[in-house]
Structure 1
Amino acid sequence: MDAPRFAALLRDWRQTSPDAPLYGRLAAAFRGAIESGSLRPAEQLPAERHLAALLGVSRSTVVAAYDDLALGEWVTRRRGSGTHVGAAAPRRAEVLTLRTPAAVAQTADELDFTIAVPLLTERHRAEMLAAAAHSFSESLYYPLGLPDLRALLAERYTQGGLPTTPEQVIVTSGAQQAIALVTATFLQRGDTALLETPTYFGAIDVFRAAGAELVGVPVGAEGVRPDDFHRLLEQHRPRLTFLTPTFQNPTGAVLSAAGRQQVAQSVADLRCPTIEDDTLAELDFGLEPPPRLAAFAPDAPIINVGSLTKLYWAGLRVGWMRVPHEWHSVLVQAKTLADFGGSLPTQHIALSLLQDLPRLKAERRAEVQPARDLLAALLREQLPDWTFRQPQGGQYLWVELPTLRASSFTYYAARYGVRLFPGASMGVGDIPDSFLRLPFTLAPAHLPEAVARLRAAWQDFSSRSGQERLA
């Protein structure tokens, strides 16, 4: 069974038809997945025992749900061959089961560890309103972004050791749009893409949607091993590569200057278009990371992607990419075809904020570093058998649990009011189902309660591990 996939597909199954018995809710969740196209005709569903273990319910609950689906001809069941989606079941166009956590309505008492976003204060709101006031003086399209913003970003790249002209900067609606535009430009169905493993779920989803075959290069304590990266580049000749050398998402690893030199040289030698994700690069805790990967090989086909989402506010939706000259025309075309330009108010806000970048970094560090330290201390005290390295930047703890059923544990945690994201969903290829990505962006006042709930859920999970859960 593909546990990460079904953990994502059935993430909120208990909230489906809340007045129904458990088996009815599970059946309703499967009907929704079949109708949406997430499950295809004739696709095999998980074995009853495996699905029961994942969801933390009794096998009889799964059997009853499958029987209910079979009565409506949503599935077919045959002894010896398992349960399959019915060929005549109603459906729409095929859609992916996204790794990206879905935004769902939360109860007032629920604590969410699935998405990492900065907390917005009244001062932030006033600051943005004042900056946006300058945006209403003109009525023009800027498909590539506000000229003054592009010039400022080019200056920032140049100051960071990567000479850049304003023409090389394209402003996007967040970093995710930049990744999607590059992917649409370089990947076709059947192509190979090389990504770190584990890595950012948004990149995994975009590459999968393009129909690419994904190959993973493992991330260790110091990032990817340059020799592994070069070997996989030569072996698979990917059409596109995705790397996060600085405060890697989710491990927090930082690739050394020597490692960056080697990786950049491999990209330059083999001419493989590469996305360097810089979205977390400004979130250091006082230890300045090495220069960007692209700075070690300015002529390499490396496309840098940045954003204000992690540094300031997710709702701003201002990102950008710095493109090498050889790919300038094709990426300008991609952005122009996608839209006629992003929101001018948000770009004026971004321009104002980036003019005071040192202050933004200092304020963000003052918010996040104490939260990191508090979360780490609480986990070490209350869940000492969970292990992790304390990162020097970014916004995540990559936590290893002493189980191969971390995806199943997320369901137990949900019953205690904590939403979790299984780390295996961030893997390219097989990684052990033993990890959780815990952002330390939750309000510090909520962290003691969140960890107390995790401890209670873990005790419940551990006591029932290997046993059938009563419905």
Structure 2
Amino acid sequence: MTASPLLPDAPRWTTVLDGWRGGGGTLSARLTAALQAAVTSGHLTPGERLPAERPLASLLGVSRSTVVAAYDDLAAGGWVTRRVGSGTHVSATAPRRSPVMTLRTPVAAPHVGDTLDFTIAVPLLTEAQRVQMRAAAQDAFVESVYHPHGLPELRAVIAGIYTREGLPTRPEQVVVTSGAQQAISLIAGALLRRGDHALLETPTYFGAIDVFRAAGAELHGLPVGPQGVNPDDFQRLVRAHGPRLAFLTPTYQNPTGTVLPARARQHLGALIADANLPTIEDDTLYDLGFADTPPPPRLSACAPDAPIVNVGSLSKLYWAGLRVGWMRLPTALAGPLGQAKTLADFGGSLPAQHIALHLLQKLDTLRRDRQAQVSAARDLLATLLRQHLPEWTFRVPDGGQYLWIELPGGGASRYTHVAAPHGVRLFPGASMGVEPLPDRYLRLPFTLDPARLPDAVIRLRYAWDEFRGRPGQEGLA
């Protein structure tokens, strides 16, 4: 059987049509409803071209007739126009909304039945941790004061952590934020203008890609190899494009788990300093190492005079619902970034910051507990995948939260749609590419409840058998 043609922007359409099979009616009716919703939400705008029938059918794992029927229904309702030779376009008379970006960042879907979600990494919260947080929040109700840059005691504790780990930091260099995502957004908003160039690893954290795109920047990808990025590639891209901002994760890189060696950090730090290029160093996974030896010093510690902003949070170390992050600011950027935080809000939640203060005073214990939990889940997931899906290849990382899976033959975006009816929600790794990546990767977090991992891998296996059994994807109705 001849395989169907590939959809050029499969990861984008996977996101636009995420969960399209939900609801009632025939498959064509569900697809019609999903495309109508994409138009009314602003994700598809008047004049935009829809995918050709065969590639979209292949992506979604349905027959071409299903897509044809959906497009015919849309045309009958005035949602699209269809012309031989020019394709199918959203109609100029379709409901108009302000354009909305198609985000790379997965959004948690409403809980449907017994679906297991591999799109996001959310640490499990134990009852002991709930008790711990309730007790830690008691001191939060003794004052009614705005702290735009964060609770002073918390800023001092965070500064002390950086100082002890080789990066001398004063409390006034720390700005507390509502999670690391807000920190990244504030930095991009303050330092980027529409049309500026920005440099990010590829693949990288999709939240950073979305923020930089929303700022109107032109993005350039710095390839991630087995040992992280190559400083020579960094220097070449800086010279070629003159970026205004860079985003790097030297330690337990998301999604590959790589760790940039110490010598490469020294070289890269010197290049950043020479270029005077503001750079975000993502520290959010820094505490999640599994090896007996700690990772190399932070990039900013290797180049203390470089304009490197460290961004951290408690979301990965403790709990995603505790929205406390921070920026460690170099002196040169303290003014604009401190002002950006004050303009964004008058201060984060005091209960959350008091909880964070209590937790970070026991950082070594937090790290040990979390590392033990995550490393056990990592090893279990790796063992199960090798047993049930030996065709998949991956490297077991020394830290972080993810396995970066390579599928033989590609088609990861199509596989995510095959897996959905089996009760597994996945996200194609190509969506984490700053520039086009081969569509053969999946990012699997090992933060799912370990008791559910055996069932999850069996479901992945069943979906894989179905996917491999229909190379043309035309047998599905």
TM-score interval, normalised by the smaller of the two chains: over 0.9
**Which residue in the other structure is 2:3 paired with?**
none
SS across alignment from 2:168 = coil
Q: Give the distance between the partners of 1:6 and 1:205, measured in 2 at CA.
A: 16
Shifted more, 100-109 versus 56-65: the winner is 100-109
**Which residue in the other structure is 1:98 paired with?**
103
Indicate whether 1:389 and 2:395 are aligned. Answer: yes
Indicate whether 1:163 and 2:168 are aligned. Answer: yes
Alpha-carbon distance, 1:338 to partner:
0.2
Indicate whether 1:379 and 2:392 are aligned. Answer: no
Indicate whether 1:451 and 2:457 are aligned. Answer: yes
CA deviations 1:422-456 (Å, max 9, x no partner) are: 10010011110000000001111111110011001
**Which residue in the other structure is 2:11 paired with?**
4
**Which residue in the other structure is 2:4 paired with?**
none
Alpha-carbon distance, 1:117 to partner:
1.1
Aligned partner letter, 2:413? S
**Which residue in the other structure is 1:30 paired with?**
35
SS across alignment from 2:223 = strand
SS across alignment from 2:400 = coil
Alpha-carbon distance, 1:230 to partner:
1.1
SS across alignment from 2:405 = strand
Q: Give the distance between the partners of 1:12 and 1:208, measured in 2 at CA.
A: 24
Indicate whether 1:194 and 2:190 are aligned. Answer: no
Indicate whether 1:122 and 2:127 are aligned. Answer: yes
| Structure 2, unaligned runs of 5 or more | 1-7
**Which residue in the other structure is 1:14 paired with?**
21
**Which residue in the other structure is 2:210 paired with?**
205
Indicate whether 1:338 and 2:344 are aligned. Answer: yes
Indicate whether 1:400 and 2:409 are aligned. Answer: no
**Which residue in the other structure is 1:232 paired with?**
237
Aligned partner letter, 1:305? V
Q: Give the distance between the partners of 2:170 and 2:86, measured in 1 at CA.
A: 61
CA deviations 1:323-363 (Å, max 9, x no partner) are: 11111111111000000000000000000000000100110
In the alignment, is the contact (CA less than 8 A) between 1:403 and 1:433 conserved in 2?
Answer: no
TM-score normalized by the length of structure 1: 0.99
Residue 309 of structure 2: which of 303, 312, 317 is its match?
A: 303
**Which residue in the other structure is 1:312 paired with?**
318
Q: Give the distance between the partners of 1:333 and 1:142, measured in 2 at CA.
A: 13
CA deviations 1:172-228 (Å, max 9, x no partner) are: 000000000000001111111110000001001111111111110110111001111
SS across alignment from 1:315 = coil
Aligned partner letter, 2:248? L
**Which residue in the other structure is 1:347 paired with?**
353
CA deviations 1:226-285 (Å, max 9, x no partner) are: 111111111111111000000000000000011111111111001111000000000001
Map of 1:107-146 to 2, 5 A cutoff?
107-146=112-151
TM-score normalized by the length of structure 2: 0.97
Q: Give the distance between the partners of 1:171 and 1:54, measured in 2 at CA.
A: 42
SS across alignment from 1:14 = coil
Indicate whether 1:466 and 2:472 are aligned. Answer: yes
Aligned partner letter, 1:377? T
Q: Give the distance between the partners of 1:144 and 1:332, measured in 2 at CA.
A: 7
Map of 1:74-89 to 2, 5 A cutoff?
74-89=79-94
Q: Give the distance between the partners of 1:79 and 1:89, measured in 2 at CA.
A: 20
Identity of aligned residues (%): 67
Q: Give the distance between the partners of 1:469 and 1:285, measured in 2 at CA.
A: 45
Q: Give the distance between the partners of 1:470 and 1:429, measured in 2 at CA.
A: 31
Aligned partner letter, 1:30? L
**Which residue in the other structure is 2:423 paired with?**
417
Indicate whether 1:185 and 2:190 are aligned. Answer: yes
Shifted more, 87-96 versus 340-349: the winner is 87-96
Alpha-carbon distance, 1:108 to partner:
3.9
**Which residue in the other structure is 2:56 paired with?**
51
**Which residue in the other structure is 1:264 paired with?**
269
**Which residue in the other structure is 2:5 paired with?**
none
Alpha-carbon distance, 1:110 to partner:
1.2
Q: Give the distance between the partners of 1:146 and 1:339, measured in 2 at CA.
A: 14
| Structure 1, unaligned runs of 5 or more | none
Q: Give the distance between the partners of 2:98 and 2:47, measured in 1 at CA.
A: 15
Alpha-carbon distance, 1:107 to partner:
2.6
CA deviations 1:123-166 (Å, max 9, x no partner) are: 00000000000111111000000000001111111111111111
Residue 292 of structure 1: which of 269, 294, 298 is its match?
A: 298
